[in-house]
Amino acid sequence: MTEVSRAATEEHDFAALPAGPWPRAERRTVLPLRQWFLWFAVLLVVGAVMWTVRTRLDKAHVVLAFLLIVLGGSSAGGRALGVSLAGVAFLAFDWFFLPPYNTFVISDPLDWLVLIAFLVTGVVAAQLLEWRRQETELARQRADEIDRLATLGAETLNAPRAEDALGAIANVIRQAMGTEYCEIFLRDGSALRLAGHSPGERQASEQAGLLAYAVERAEAAAERSDGTLTLLGDALSSSRSLEAPPVLLADLLALGIPLRVRDRIVGALRLSSSRPFSVSDDQRRILGALAYYAALGAERVRLAGAEEEAESLRRADRLKDALLASVSHDLRTPLTAIKGIANEVWNGGDPHRAQIIEDEADRLNVLVGDLLELSQLNAGSLRVTTALNTVDEVVGAALERVEAAHGAGRIDVHIANEGDILVGQFDFAHTMRVLTNLLENALKYSPTDSPVTLRAWKDHGVVRFVVEDEGAGIQASDAGRIFEPFFRGSGIPDGTRGTGLGLSIARQLAEVQGGTLTYEARTGRGSRFMLALPAGVGPSVSS
Span 322-331, pLDDT tens digits: 665 566 566 6
pLDDT of residue 513: 93
pLDDT of residue 321: 61
* pLDDT, average across residues 109-136: 82
Phi, psi dihedral angles at 518 (to 5 degrees): -130, 165
Q: Which tens digit of pLDDT belongs to each residue from 138-162?
A: 778 777 767 766 766 666 656 667 7
In the predicted model, is pLDDT for residue 269 greater than 80?
A: yes
Element containing residue 50 per DSSP (H, E): helix 21-52
> Which residues contact residue 11 at a Cβ distance below 8 angstroms, ignoring those fewer than 6 apart?
203
Strand residue runs (E) in 94-143: none
Element containing residue 414 per DSSP (H, E): strand 411-415
pLDDT of residue 488: 74
Q: What is the C-alpha radius of gyration for the chain, rounded to an integer number of angstroms?
A: 41
* pLDDT, average across residues 166-180: 83
In the predicted model, is pLDDT for residue 205 greater than 50?
A: no
Q: Is the pTM of this model over 0.75?
A: no
In the predicted model, is pLDDT for residue 412 greater than 50?
A: yes
Beta-carbon count within 10 A of 321 CB:
11
CATH of 387-534, one of 3.90.79.10, 3.40.50.800, 3.30.565.10, 3.40.1260.10: 3.30.565.10
The rounded percent of the chain whose pLDDT value lies above 90 is 13
* pLDDT, average across residues 222-238: 75
In the predicted model, is pLDDT for residue 373 greater than 80?
A: no
Query: How high does pLDDT run on average in the chain?
Result: 77
Q: How many Å apart are CA 86 and CA 312, to the nearest integer?
A: 77
**490 neighbors 476 (Cβ within 8 angstroms):** no
* pLDDT, average across residues 38-55: 85
**Is 450 exposed, middle or buried (CB count within 10 Å of its CB: 0-12, 13-18, 19+)?**
middle
In the predicted model, is pLDDT for residue 174 greater than 80?
A: yes
Q: How many Å apart are CA 294 and CA 256, to the nearest integer?
A: 13
Angle at CA of residue 269, ends 265 and 274, nearest 5°? 155
pLDDT band of 514, cuts 50, 70, 90: very high
Among positive and negative, which fits the CA dihedral 135, 140, 141, 145?
Answer: positive
Percent helix, strand, coil in the chain, to 5, is 55, 20, 30
Helix crossing, 428-444 with 391-406: angle to 10°?
A: 40
Among positive and negative, which fits the CA dihedral 60, 62, 68, 70?
Answer: negative
Q: How many Å apart are CA 82 and CA 102, to the nearest integer?
A: 24
**285 neighbors 172 (Cβ within 8 angstroms):** no
pLDDT of residue 8: 33
Q: How many Å apart are CA 121 and CA 133, to the nearest integer?
A: 18
- Each domain of the chain, given as residue ranges in start order, spans 21-150, 331-378, 387-534
**443 neighbors 406 (Cβ within 8 angstroms):** yes
Among 538, 543, 541, 542, smallest CA distance to 390 is for 538
Q: Which tens digit of pLDDT belongs to each residue from 8-23?
A: 333 333 333 333 443 3
Beta-carbon count within 10 A of 364 CB:
16
